């Protein structure tokens, strides 16, 4: 078991964002977290990467309380692509991605030739090699998103947390980055947990869905089995039809008025 989440709760003052949430996440699986705005998806990501601590309940990573890990230990196990990543210092794209290698370097040491080779290969895989020496502060939103994603991939962790990884991306690059995440699952048995708003992309790439509503788990399980029209109606308050699309070998949703 990679993550074992038991009865966790979290509040912002008097507003409860996560309510009695239970999850069990395993290696070699791609999980998509979906739900309406304000349902607690990003808060869940913040709890899972250690940026926040639950008010109650238990959150364990590889059988150990998440709070017991040092920051360096967590950085070797969990890489994060946050919903927002403000950058005010003029790092180059290569320097930004190299930050993903720091948890693996001895203290006070410089990056090795292997680190540089890995960083450049990762930038290339994210179709970001063309601006490797450009300043991140001068990149477009989509270009910066690809650099931030490359930074997480270069970290080479067994867990990858993605909070709206396709924000600011055109469909070509959204598909590219989701394919890279799915490859990490297939080839390295990584655990990917991605907050996604596009239900059809979630169905295309995720092995399992976690549907949230009002801070609670509304449904969870294998993607095509857990998503039903009645669940979509309950969670999103819209009517939908679900059919299988042979072109992508996955179920797809059509919303109806």
What is d(CA 83, CA 10) in angstroms, rounded to the nearest whole number?
19
pLDDT of 126: 96
* Predicted pLDDT of residue 17: 97
List strand residue ranges (DSSP E) for the chain, in order.
3-12, 15-25, 29-34, 56-61, 64-65, 78-81, 159-163, 191-195, 208-213, 216-222, 239-245, 250-256
The CATH H-level (homologous superfamily) assignment of domain 1-77+157-228 is: P-loop containing nucleotide triphosphate hydrolases (3.40.50.300)
Q: Tell me the pLDDT band of 89, cut-offs 50, 70 and 90.
A: confident
State yes or no: pLDDT of 224 exceeds 80: yes
Provide the pLDDT confidence category of residue 11 given band limits of 50, 70 and 90: very high
Which pLDDT tens digit goes with each residue over 92-122? 999 999 999 999 988 878 889 999 999 999 9
| Domain parsing of the chain, residue ranges | 1-77+157-228, 84-156
Q: Give the global pTM.
A: 0.95
The SS3 call for residue 215 is coil
């Amino acid at each position: 078991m990679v993550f074992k989440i038991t009865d966790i709760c979290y509040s912002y003052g008097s507003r409860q964002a996560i309510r009695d949430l239970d999850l069990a996440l395993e290696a070699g699986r791609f999980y998509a977290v979906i739900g309406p705005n304000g349902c607690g998806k990003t808060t869940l990501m913040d709890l899972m990467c250690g940026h926040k601590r639950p008010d109650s309940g238990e959150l364990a990573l590889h059988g150990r309380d998440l709070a017991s890990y040092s920051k360096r230990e967590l950085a070797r196990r969990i890489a994060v692509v946050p919903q927002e990543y403000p950058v005010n210092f003029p790092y180059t794209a290569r320097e930004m991605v190299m930050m993903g290698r720091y948890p693996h370097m001895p203290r006070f040491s410089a990056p090795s030739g292997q680190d540089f080779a890995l960083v450049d290969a990762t930038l290339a895989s994210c179709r970001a090699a063309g601006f490797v020496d450009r300043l991140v502060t001068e990149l477009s939103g989509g270009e910066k998103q690809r650099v931030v994603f490359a930074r997480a991939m270069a970290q080479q962790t067994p867990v990858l947390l993605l909070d709206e990884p396709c924000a600011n991306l055109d469909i070509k690059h959204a598909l590219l980055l989701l394919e890279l995440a799915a490859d990490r699952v297939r080839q390295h048995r990584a655990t990917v947990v991605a907050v996604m708003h596009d239900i059809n992309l979630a169905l295309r790439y995720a092995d399992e869905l976690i549907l949230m509503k009002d801070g609670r788990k509304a449904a969870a399980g294998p993607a095509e089995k857990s998503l039903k029209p009645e669940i979509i109606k309950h969670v999103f308050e819209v009517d939908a039809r679900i059919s299988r699309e042979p072109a992508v070998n996955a179920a797809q949703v059509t919303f109806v008025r």
